[in-house]
Structure 1
Amino acid sequence: MGTVSLPDTWVYALRLPYDPRAARVARMTVRAALDGHGRHELVGDVELLTSELVTNAYRHTRGPCSLRLTALADGRLRVGVWDSHPHIPAAFAEPPGGAPEHTAPAPPGAGGGRGLHLMREYAHSWGGWSLGDGGPLGRGAGKLLWFEVGGP
C-alpha cells in the first residue's frame, strides 16, 4: 500500500451573504483552512487582509461577496474577494509599488483609510479587476480584489 501525500495546491471558495458578520466568518474560514494545511505562519496576515477586503465589500455594496483562497505550488497563497460593485479602489488599480509610497496615514480614530497601508505592510503583491457594471439592467458583475502572501 502506497502513502498518500496531500497536494501543495488547493482552493477554497466561500460565498458570504450581505451581513455585518461576514468578515468574522471569512476570518474563521481563513484560519481553519490555513491551520488545516499547516500554514500557521500566514494566519495573522491573511486574516487581517481578508477582513479588510470583506469589510469593504460589505460597506460599499448591498449584496453578497465571495472569498477564494488558492494555495499555489511555489508556496504563495492568493486570496481574492469578489463583490458586486465594479469600481476598483486606486490602490488596487496600480501595480504594487505603482501607487505613491508616501500617502498620508489615516488619522487616529478614523473609520477607514488603512487598506493601502495594510497591503503594503503585509502582502507581497495585490491588484484588482473590474468585471463590468452589468449593463442596462444594472446587475453588476462587480470586481475582484486580490493579494498574495508567502512563497519565495
Structure 2
Amino acid sequence: MPETWDYTLQIPNDLRAVTVCRRTLRLILTLHGLTGLVEVAELLATELVSNAVRHTKGPAALRVRRSPEGMVWIGAWDTNPVPPDPPRALEQVGELEEGRGLGLVVACAEVWGWQPSARFGNTGKFVWCELVAA
C-alpha cells in the first residue's frame, strides 16, 4: 500500500500566491518521490488556484493528498459556493489564456470534479482533480 499524506496551504486572494502554490506542490511531490508527476501537477494546480484567486474575493487554499489507492488529489478551495462553469474543449479555446483552465484539467487528469465545502469559517467549494501516482 502506498504512503498516504495530506497537505493544505492557506493562501490570500493574491495572484502571487499561485507561484507559491506551484513551488510548494513541486517540493511536496519531489520529497515524496513523485517527480514524474511534477510538471502536469504544477499545470493543473496553477489552473485551479488561479481560478480560485481570480474569481473570488476571499481567501483560498491548495490541498494535496495521496490516497491509499495511490492517487494524488489536488484541490483548490475558494469562498464562492457556485459551481465552476463547465469546461470547454481545448480546441474551442485556441491560443486564448481565458477559459482554458478546466479544459486543461479535463485533458490531463484522470478525473475531476467540484464539491461544496466550508473552511476557515467560510462557505465555498473545492475544485479538484486526481492523477495516478504510478
TM-score by length of 2: 0.87
Whole-Å separation in 2 of the counterparts to 1:58 and 1:67:
11
Cross-structure match for 2:79: 84
Cross-structure match for 2:98: 112
Query: How many Å apart are 1:44 and its aligned residue?
Result: 0.6
Q: Which has the larger radius of gyration?
A: 1
Query: How many Å apart are 1:129 and its aligned residue?
Result: 1.1
Whole-Å separation in 2 of the counterparts to 1:112 and 1:85:
19
Whole-Å separation in 1 of the counterparts to 2:75 and 2:83:
13
Cross-structure match for 2:19: 24
Whole-Å separation in 1 of the counterparts to 2:124 and 2:74:
17
**8 A Cα contact 2:90 2:104, kept in partner:** no
Query: How many Å apart are 1:140 and its aligned residue?
Result: 4.9
Alignment coverage as a number of residue pairs: 131
Q: Map 1:1-152 onto structure 2 (within 5 A).
A: 8-91=3-86, 105-108=92-95, 110-131=96-117, 140-151=122-133
Query: How many Å apart are 1:30 and its aligned residue?
Result: 0.5
Whole-Å separation in 2 of the counterparts to 1:58 and 1:21:
10
**Runs of 4+, deviation exceeding 3 Å:** none
**8 A Cα contact 1:11 1:70, kept in partner:** yes
The DSSP-based 3-state class of the residue aligned with 2:41 is: helix
Structure 2, unpaired ranges of 5+: none
**Against the structure 1 CA distance between its residues 90 and 19, is the aligned structure 2 distance closer, same or farther, given a 3 Å change threshold?**
closer
The DSSP-based 3-state class of the residue aligned with 2:3 is: coil
Whole-Å separation in 1 of the counterparts to 2:60 and 2:78:
5
Letter in 1 for 2:13: Y
**8 A Cα contact 1:85 1:140, kept in partner:** no
TM-score by length of 1: 0.77
**Against the structure 1 CA distance between its residues 20 and 151, is the aligned structure 2 distance closer, same or farther, given a 3 Å change threshold?**
closer
Please provide the CA RMSD for this pair. 2.2
Structure 1, unpaired ranges of 5+: 1-6, 92-98, 133-138
